[in-house]
Structure 1
């Protein structure tokens, strides 16, 4: 037989037999059976200015985690308002000051996605870049954070060249590049010690090609002389020594390179058309060999 459901009158009789008062027709509505037990509680939103003041007060007390939570609550309660814009930036700043750098990065990214044309967009980019920069490890460890910091700092300089943060970003770009070069040098020396000369050469060439303005360039050139001499590629060794001597004549690394060449009865000799010579001319602004 098909299932049948009790009529409205039959349902009322059942409820009365169980001692349940009708309390009006709405008591028979199944969606209201538990209305008395589970009353929804409406919580009034905290005024925006109160949440913002609370966040600032916590910042003053150096309770950065608490401040971030207040600003985050403000952002959620007043989404897409001007309060939300201010709160999101302050969330990023609070997390940055509290050394919760990944949270600061995420908040900064959200700000830039929502408010790319804001007058504070440059500051949000700066907070994101600095949060990456603060996490740069020493040269013995993986340099993924350094790569991310370099990208973020470079974007800041390119997108906001006239901002008050551009000068500081440029200085930190140089430091970050130096760190990346240090890692390449560490790996290159390891290969050199293991007599894996082609692998070592590739690392030292990367230092010269990508990070030529760092403090590691002189050593990279001397190490190239070592590696090329070990492989018997004397022409490249002579060229590397000549470029080293031309650009860093007083460097102790040049003295070492010169002495190493002399053990083979060789002198530094630059090949004007070599990649090495062109690399240095492109940085110093000199004419290329083809234009000489």
Structure 2
């Protein structure tokens, strides 16, 4: 390369010719003659090793001119500086790690849902479950992890997944027996079974499970804010179980099997003495005993029915059945004598 007028010629070989300018230089000479590694130059900005941005093409003529000058090492350093600066500028900032509280509150916000077309309420349950699970997995010793466990049970309950919800509520009670939300968990566990109660003619396992949970709640936490609701549900579960036995007794009675019918009526009275149809059950038991010609025992049952004092008082239907039963018993005794 021809030197400029007045310039001191450079020693031969001091600046080896570059066959073609390159933007992927892996090393460059420093002003002191040593070799400076690009890895060292960009250690603080790893993203500088990525493909240079498109705007470098716009200043390519300037870079070419610098690389052809006598002090081309300054041009190389300039290029490296641009690449490092571009890499640092494009490096994403460190993201703040979400806290247990932020995950938990995001889950709650999703459970609130959003209204669609003014009529439908859309709730992203899977996403809410993910947020609550993040709290449990990443912050297992946080207070929010305990609350997230309970919320997972609630989410399954709201979706109608009662078996899964019951399992979560049971785990919560066992893992946190002194937590203030234990009464709530017991009540909701009972409600999981209560929601699965079917017709009186079907299997009554869900009814028995609900009955057991409500009784546990009332025995342990009689003054809980959920106690009143539990008493109402308990009464409904008791009536369901009693009606199951009564319907079976009615079936035998219609067939004329008064002994089998009387056994079912007795079972309903002994196991569920507080069921709301106690007077009706006593009357049907008495009629079954009349069918067996056990008039003395039938009279004793008739007297119990007269003495019964249901919480809501005798219904009109109860009074009618009692009156008719008394008349039929009187006539039967009269004919037998």
Q: TM-score, normalised by structure 1?
A: 0.71
**Post-superposition offset of 1:150:** 0.4
Asked if 1:236 is matched to 2:288, the reply is no
Alignment of 1:195-274 (within 5 A): 195-247=256-308, 251-266=319-334
Which of 108, 112, 119 aligns to 2:173? It is 112
* Corresponding residue SS for 1:265: helix
User: Which residue of 1 is the match for residue 109 of structure 2?
Assistant: 57
CA distance in 2 between counterparts of 1:257 and 1:231 reads 15
CA distance in 1 between counterparts of 2:294 and 2:97 reads 75
CA distance in 1 between counterparts of 2:320 and 2:273 reads 18
| More deviation, 206-215/157-166 | 206-215
Asked if 1:173 is matched to 2:225, the reply is no
- Any gaps of 5 or more consecutive residues in structure 2? 1-95, 114-122
Give the direction of change, closer, same or farther, for the CA distance of 1:81–1:264 in structure 2 (3 Å limit): same
User: Which residue of 2 is the match for residue 154 of structure 1?
Assistant: 215
Whether the 8 Å CA contact 1:207–1:216 is kept in 2: the answer is: no
Asked if 1:100 is matched to 2:161, the reply is yes
Whether the 8 Å CA contact 2:132–2:152 is kept in 1: the answer is: yes
Whether the 8 Å CA contact 2:100–2:142 is kept in 1: the answer is: no
Whether the 8 Å CA contact 1:185–1:216 is kept in 2: the answer is: no
Question: Could you list the per-position Cα deviations for residues 116-141 of structure 1 after superposition, in whole angstroms to 9, with x for gaps in the alignment?
Answer: 00111111112111112121112121
**Post-superposition offset of 1:51:** 2.3
| More deviation, 147-156/230-239 | 230-239
**Post-superposition offset of 1:218:** 1.5
**Backbone CA RMSD of aligned residues:** 2.2
Give the direction of change, closer, same or farther, for the CA distance of 1:230–1:52 in structure 2 (3 Å limit): same
**Post-superposition offset of 1:97:** 1.8
CA distance in 2 between counterparts of 1:228 and 1:221 reads 11
Larger Rg computed on CA atoms: 2
- Any gaps of 5 or more consecutive residues in structure 1? 1-43, 268-292
CA distance in 2 between counterparts of 1:215 and 1:109 reads 30
Whether the 8 Å CA contact 1:45–1:77 is kept in 2: the answer is: no
Poorly superposed stretches of 4+, deviation over 6 Å? none
